[in-house]
Structure 1
Amino acid sequence: MKTYQNILVVIDPTTNDQKALKRAIDLAANINSSGGKVNVTAFLSIFDFSYEMTTILSSDERDVMRQSVIKDKELWLTDIINGLNPEIQIKNQVVWHNRPFEAIVERVIQENYELVIKGTHQHDKFKSVVFTPTDWHILRKCPCPVLLVKEHEWPVNGNILAAVNVGSDEAEHQSLNVKITQEAKLLAQLIKGHVHLVNSFPGTPVNIAIEIPEFNSTEYNDTMLKHHEKAMIAHANQFDISVANTHVEEGLPETVIEQVAEKIDAELVILGTIGRTGISAALIGNTAEHVIDQLKCDVLALKPDGYVSPLE
């Protein structure tokens, strides 16, 4: 089974506590102990507008100042890496860029990174709409899987929750279901964990219940539940996952995923995300983004096969 061989870790310049880097070290150690070989790069994008606006300095002098700042950050990052005493060798890379998410995605494309790991935190809901956070941009535009790390640990025998859409006949959804489940199996093997599957389905549309009083919403919901449960069992059997570890519930995906993750105390939730941009992204985001703000555990977001980043 193929494991990650090239990992990019996004460094947070505001703190010495680099939880994304710690997660990368643990993951890389597990990969190496299972016979794999992984390269980890600690990546930091920095920018200070005041350096660009210093008109009394020449272009060459401003460049010297930027290089000096970069060198200081490289030394700071080296001290942090050495302080963690990793069993693996970690490269560090500091660049000057005014849009961190672009620097990250460009690096992924240029160096063929297979996984991006970044620390995240609860976003203010209003600001998340008006000023899209860096990790939202990465989710939408990064072509490789993105692991957003919170405070939750990954203990041995922990639970990984894979969010699938088994009720859809669309080829893209079915392909993404396979990809999500395979990723869950891979990570469960690495951390000696257990895979759970979750699927939500919508209840009776409100407008139908109002406009057609004789419509039997209970019968409709029962039929939908049976349809999704049957599809879920078939999907679980395909990947040798116990039916006892499957969860099919009525409701919005972000609500159901959060509730099931809480119930099983998941270490990690894996889900698919699309690269939505423009007005729709600003106003409604997508399921992955809603889930990330609600979950207490890590989230691994995957793109559909064939996804091309708008930055490519």
Structure 2
Amino acid sequence: MQHFRHLLYVSHGTTDENEGLKQALSLARNNHAPLKVLIVCPDFPAEFPDYQQNYQESLLTITQARIQRTQDALKLAEGAVDVSIDFVSDKTPAINIIQYVLQHQHDLVIKEAESQDNRCGLKTIDMNLLRKCPVPVWLCRPIEHSHQQIQVAVAIDPKSQEQAAESLSRRMLALSRSLADSCSGELHIISCWDYEFEAYLRGNMWIKTSDDEIDQTVLRIHDEHRAALEALIRDSGISGQHLIHHLRGKPTEMIPDFVVQKPIDILVMGTVARTGIPGFMIGNTAENIVQKLNCSLIGLKPQGFISPVKAG
């Protein structure tokens, strides 16, 4: 299934971003889509206007060489991916990237993740893209597995009260299924459940509830959540090999731990909690999860999300 047709890869132009380029070129090839490389760079000092053209030409040459090396490493045939390059200022990088997306109608932003500690967490520019960019954002981290062994996972909440949540979950399942099919073929579906009152109810002298009643309640909550999850997967229409990981506990703890233990290379998840509200912040649960991840992340927003950034 072709999900993206107008890809944008964000580069700083002066740093080693081979991993991000590799994932961007692979995705463009698999989607038979053109790839725009957007160099986000400092404005050249106004005191030296004669060197502005030389400055951009040097960045262009460096970037073209990196693209060629990456294409060679991927063994892409000449012309297999239509690649072009453009520039924007880094004075307000996230805003400028989002404006470029809106002006040129890109449907996916790909960028190397900028980590807080070189392993987990995300810096401000990446968090702002996850919060405000109207299209999916793919934040790349190194993948050590061969292409045929890449592990893909999707995090789903089948019991969300948001009206747009079911549609978003179906989109995430379809995207992750398609992505897994292009990699190992195995899709991991993660969903977390819990009954937070269990510890409070057991042995509480003020509430005379038997252990058997509590056990039955916990089992019912588990079964209801599992049934909702399986119904959502079934209704999404995805096929192929998939493994359901129905984890008990807080998503902010269980999902990052699962990603490390499996290990997962690419995680697909929703990153915004509401629709129709300009600039509504990323959901607390999602924000706490992404700050603990050490894998590549694809963040999707629900249909109807309104970016606070205007095309300009």
C-alpha distance in 2, partners of 1:222/1:191?
36
1:18-59: CA deviation from partner (whole Å, max 9, x where unpaired) = 21111111222233xxxxx210011111125x825xxxx4xx
* Candidates 196, 202, 223, aligned match of 1:226: 223
Contact 1:258 / 1:291 at 8 angstroms: preserved in 2? yes
One of 42, 55, 61 as aligned partner of 1:69? 55
- The more displaced of 259-268 and 115-124 is 259-268
Post-superposition offset of 1:107: 1.0
Give the 3 Å change call, closer, same or farther, for CA 231–290 of structure 1 in structure 2: same
State the partner residue of 1:3: 3
Q: Are residue 43 (structure 1) and residue 38 (structure 2) matched?
A: yes
Structure 2 residue 97 is the aligned partner of structure 1 residue 104: yes
- Is the counterpart of residue 257 in structure 1 residue 255 in structure 2? yes
Q: Is the 8 A contact 1:167 1:227 kept in 2?
A: no
Q: Deviations over 1:142-199 (max 9, x none)?
A: 1111111111246315432111111235422111111111111221233352222111
Q: Distance in 1 between matches of 2:104 and 2:299?
A: 20
Partner residue in 1 for 2:294: 296
CA change 1:304–1:123 in 2 (3 A) is same
Q: CA deviation at 1:117?
A: 0.8
Whether the 8 Å CA contact 1:288–1:301 is kept in 2: the answer is no
| Bigger helix share | 1
Q: Secondary structure at the match of 1:2?
A: coil
Q: Deviations over 1:54-104 (max 9, x none)?
A: xxx4xxx54x44444223211221221222235323111122240111121
For 1:139 and 1:163, how far apart are their aligned partners in 2? 16
Counterpart pick for 2:126 among 132, 135, 144 = 135
Task: Find the counterpart in structure 2 of residue 272 from structure 1.
Answer: 270
* 1:136-151 superposed matches below 5 A: 136-151=127-142
Contact 2:189–2:244 at 8 Å: present in 1 too?
Answer: yes
User: Structure 2 unaligned runs (5+)?
Assistant: none
Q: 1:7 Cα shift?
A: 0.8
Q: How many residues align?
A: 292
Percent of paired sites with the same residue:
23
TM-score, with structure 1 as normaliser: 0.81
**Unmatched runs of 5 consecutive residues or more in structure 1:** 32-36
Change in Cα spacing, 1:14 to 1:252, as seen in structure 2 (3 Å) is: farther
Q: Which one of the candidate residues 196, 204, 207 is aligned to 1:204? A: 196
AA aligned to 1:29 is R
- Contact 1:42/1:90 (8 A) holds in 2: yes
Q: Secondary structure at the match of 1:51?
A: coil
